[in-house]
Amino acid sequence: MICPVLRDASSSLAKINMRFFLLILGSILIVSLQLTWLPKLAVLTITPNLILAGVLAFAICQKEEKNFWWAMIPILLFDLLAGRPFGVFTLSACLMFFSLELLSNIFFKKNDLLALLLLAVVGVLFFEVYQFLLVEVFSIWRLIEPIKLSVFYFSVALPIKVFYNGLLSLLGLLIIRKSQLLFSHGQIFKIK
């Protein structure tokens, strides 16, 4: 006869494993989508980034506890497959997530649309700044050429990136909110 404690433990372990498997599967789907279909939506070679938008949405959603380790899986998968050099995307996304979470806790107590919009815009800007700084650091070891900040970057590339990723992150936020019931008792986050 199996002890009830052991049975409960094995049942919760199976649930976590199932969730982990689903997350890996979902991450592979998202990364594949990013590499195949999303480049077709490029405007002047600027493509929306599903993974970045997902992390952004996760960072700005109002939750008590968020487990960033779950967000790490798609980020790492994308970086392993397409990031160059490896680490720039992961580090930028991680720094952006924590900066944005800190910012939203300090300045944005209200959960209105304007605040969310501002957070999405600031999040993309944070990501770009971190990416720029990290590329500068990596270029010291000649792993990548430094980013050339041109008029094109500020007047065209950056606004398109902000628009595309900000819009996608708001869409992601909507999906997260709609799926509250699904995840409210899970490991990914707890609803306030």
| Interface ranges with another protein (CB under 8 A) | 28-29, 31-37, 39-40, 42, 44-47, 49, 52, 65, 68-69, 72, 76-77, 80-91, 94, 98, 101, 131, 135, 144-145, 148, 150, 152-153, 157
Measured from the CB atom, the residue of 5 and 106 that comes closer to another protein is 106
Give whichever of 9 and 29 is closer to another protein, judged by the CB atom: 29
For residue 9, the minimal CB distance to another protein (Å) is: 24
The residue among 49 and 173 lying less far from another protein, judged by its C-beta, is 49
Q: Which is nearer to another protein, 72 or 115 (CB)?
A: 72
Residues forming beta bridges with residue 189, ordered by sequence position: 66
CA separation (Å) from 99 to 25, 80, 129? 28, 24, 12
CB of 95 to another protein, least distance (A): 8
Give the burial class of 123: count Cβ atoms within 10 A of its Cβ; 0-12 exposed, 13-18 middle, 19 or more buried.
buried
Report in angstroms the alpha-carbon separations of 77 from 25, 80, 91, 169.
11, 5, 13, 19
Closest separation in Å from C-beta 115 to another protein: 20
Residue 14: CB minimum distance to another protein, A: 22
CB atoms within 10 A of CB 181: 8
- Nearer to another protein among residue 40 and residue 178 (C-beta): 40
Min dist CB 69 to another protein, Å, is: 7
DSSP state of 192: -
What secondary structure letter does DSSP report for 40?
Answer: G
In angstroms, give the least distance from the CB of 175 to another protein: 20
Q: Are 34 and 50 in contact (CB under 8 A)?
A: yes
* 3-class DSSP assignment, residue 145: coil
Nearer to another protein, 6 or 106 (CB): 106
Beta-carbon contacts of residue 81 (< 8 Å; ≥ 6 apart):
31, 35
